[in-house]
Amino acid sequence: MDPQSGNGRIGQRLVCLTQTQSTNADAFQLAEEGAPEGTVVMADAQTAGKGRRGRVWSSPEGVNLYCSVLLRPLIMPHEAPQLTFLSAVAVARAIEKTTTLAPEIKWPNDVLITGRKVAGLLNEMSAETDGINFVILGIGVNLNMTADQFPDDLRHPATSLLLESGSKVVRTSFADIMLQELDTLYTDFLTFGFAPVRQEWQRRCNANGRRVVVCEAGTEVASGMFAGIDEDGALLLQTGKGTTERIVSGDVMVI
């Protein structure tokens, strides 16, 4: 099974904005208006950047990558979460190609450098029961953010590539490389399915060989040895009772 190079699908239409509320909201609207697969929306700043679980994504001007990619895959709605794993791997590959840092991925889809979050991904979709209309992959990467630009009330430690490496990242180069990697991964996904990206995601996961604890609203709901992810991207835990527990949501801590 040879990895494909991308076919230039992603980024064929590029919308660059100085400031917007949320590139995900813009891409969603463009998708509803019929924009083609591969349309990318990028902004210098977001005034209402959306994080997962209704959180705010801090999006100061001119320092980071805020981007949303419109895809129209012929897959079933329950398979859509698989696409977020593509974004995580694309971001990790782009970090490796543009810095000397060693990114890791934390389930479901945070990208970490030395345990601190450097990128977050927000997958949104429009679907019917029997198929997907479109998926928006929202990708936020802290590139050149300085310590004083992070909000005080962050729930988990966060960082930027600049803070970790001491060197500024050229935003356009990073975006270009990341989108090329995403294009390649998406072509592979359409050709070979989820298996290759799942394998690479697992190799890059911060929980390999480790015990993890899963919390919901601050309360521990499960714990066990990390045993990979399944075909739907659910987290698998080997429990002390010899069973495998399947986790579909929650905050994961490696212990």
Q: Which residues bind ligand BTN (CB under 6 A)?
A: 22-24, 46, 49-52, 55, 57, 66-68, 110, 120-122, 138-140
Distance CA 53, CA 66 (A): 18
* Residues 69/27, Cβ–Cβ less than 8 Å: yes
Distance CA 88, CA 237 (A): 21
Smallest separation (angstroms) from ligand BTN to the CB of 119: 8
Spell out the residues 6+ positions from residue 96 whose beta carbon is closer than 8 angstroms to its own: 102, 103
Residue nearest to ligand BTN (CB): 120
Smallest separation (angstroms) from ligand BTN to the CB of 197: 19
Spell out the residues 6+ positions from residue 190 whose beta carbon is closer than 8 angstroms to its own: 73
| Residue placing its CB nearer to ligand BTN in the complex, 87 or 99 | 87
Smallest separation (angstroms) from ligand BTN to the CB of 26: 8
| Residue placing its CB nearer to ligand BTN in the complex, 142 or 187 | 142
- Which residue(s) pair with 110 in the sheet? 106
| Residue placing its CB nearer to ligand BTN in the complex, 23 or 180 | 23
Smallest separation (angstroms) from ligand BTN to the CB of 194: 21
The 3-state DSSP class for residue 23 equals helix
| Residue placing its CB nearer to ligand BTN in the complex, 66 or 186 | 66
